Amino acid sequence: MIAQPKLSILVPVYNVEEYLAQCLSSLVGQSLQDIEIICINDGSTDGSLAILQRFAKKDSRIAIIDKENTGYGDSMNKALKRAHGEYVSILEPDDWIEENAYKIMYQAAKKANADLVKTNFYRTRTNPKAGLTEDFRTSEVAQKETINPSDKREVFQFMPAIWSAIYKKSFLIDNNINFLPTPGASYQDLSFSFKVWTLAEKAVLLPDAFVHYRIDNEGSSINNPGKINCVVEEYAEIETFLCERGFFPKFGETMNAAKFRNYHWNFQRLDKKLAKEFYQTWRRELASAWDEGLLKQPNFSQKDWLALKTIIKHPRIAYFVLNLRKRLKHFA
């Protein structure tokens, strides 16, 4: 094991035997070799642990944390404590990454002494070719080598995609940035991502895409009642964080704009019965934010602003339209 690696890569594992070998192969083949790979087996019941052990036997840079199932947030927090790297990254076990990715990101981080380096990524399925997802383009980042996220609020509207980045370990530790240890694996990246963007002073945005993010099951419905309010819990955590740190006056409107988009995404994924229950929470929180003056039109697209006002003022009509769009998208 390398005493003080340049990068620690955290891989949370739960029942992913079909894709895990591809993920690990992409990590052990990185051109940046001064790394450690920390795999957290969260009580898998398939062959995932055996795959981890097979790879670890061949590469001493791989460490395995084998534990009972406690969920994504708790797994990631344990891995963060175990990490020794100067920088930390995350790779989901059903994704894979390009060979030179971490070398390029690490060099960019060191050059700028950055708190984080963020990249674009590919959305990919098992069979069709990948499609590039650009949260930012070359022209937007060419003028400045680094940005302060507080001055570039659109970063808060990016898909969290916490796995398409590297983070300075000391930055995370000094600011007590970790994951909400709720059960399961739904939305725990939201509060982590928001805290990072809020507290980072130097961030590098690279227009390159390295991670292949698998979306085979992205559109599947959620029918587990325990997952209805995971996104609600994440935003409650974000609001608590902002209030405790004295940041709410500065970031409250930004939080509510991101919250609308993620609540909408959650509604689209829930099955009909659970969506109806969640909609009541969504509408109630929207109305409260509206009354407090925390929803401002410049923070929303024209389409989202119209949807927002309809939900608040005509909730039954909005619910009908949202469900109709969901059905049409399903059959498209």
Q: What is the DSSP string of 70-110?
A: --HHHHHHHHHHH---SEEEE--TT-EE-TTHHHHHHHHHH
In a domain, 2, yes or no: no
Instruction: Please indicate, yes or no, if residue 208 is contained in any of the structural domains.
Output: yes
- pLDDT tens readout for residues 240-298: 999 999 999 999 999 999 999 999 999 988 888 889 999 999 999 999 999 999 999 99
Whether residue 196 is contained in a domain is answered as: yes
End position of a domain, from candidates 214, 249, 275: 214
Task: Kindly tell me if the per-residue pLDDT of 219 is higher than 50.
Answer: no
Query: For strand 87-90 and strand 165-168, is the pairing parallel, antiparallel, or unpaired?
Result: antiparallel
Q: What is the pLDDT of residues 145-204, one digit of tens each?
A: 689 988 888 899 888 899 999 999 999 999 999 998 876 667 889 999 999 999 999 999
Q: Are residues 202 and 259 in the same domain?
A: no
Poorest-confidence range of 25-34, 95-104, 205-214? 205-214
Note whether 230 and 174 are same-domain residues: no
Residue 117 and residue 102: Cα distance in Å, rounded? 10
Considering the domain architecture, whether residues 146 and 268 belong to the same structural domain is answered as no
Do 232 and 174 fall into the same domain? no
Which of 206, 10, 192 shows the shortest CA–CA distance to 106?
206
Examine the domain organization and report whether 113 and 159 are in the same domain.
yes
SS3 label, residue 40: strand
pLDDT of residue 127: 63
Domain hosting 273: range is 225-331
Rounded to 10 deg, the angle between the 230-245 and 248-269 helix axes is: 180
- For residue 296, what are the CA distances in angstroms to 129, 147, 257, 309? 39, 24, 8, 11
- Token pair, residue 315, equals 């909730």
Confidence of residue 4 (pLDDT cuts 50, 70, 90): confident
Residue 130 shares a structural domain with residue 165 = yes
| Residues 313 and 166 grouped into a single domain | no
Burial label, 233 (beta-carbon count in 10 A; 0-12, 13-18, 19+): middle
Q: What is the mean pLDDT of the chain?
A: 89
138 shares its domain with 16: yes
Q: pLDDT confidence of 225, banded at 50, 70, 90?
A: low
pLDDT at 315 over 80: yes
Domain boundary among 170, 193, 214: 214
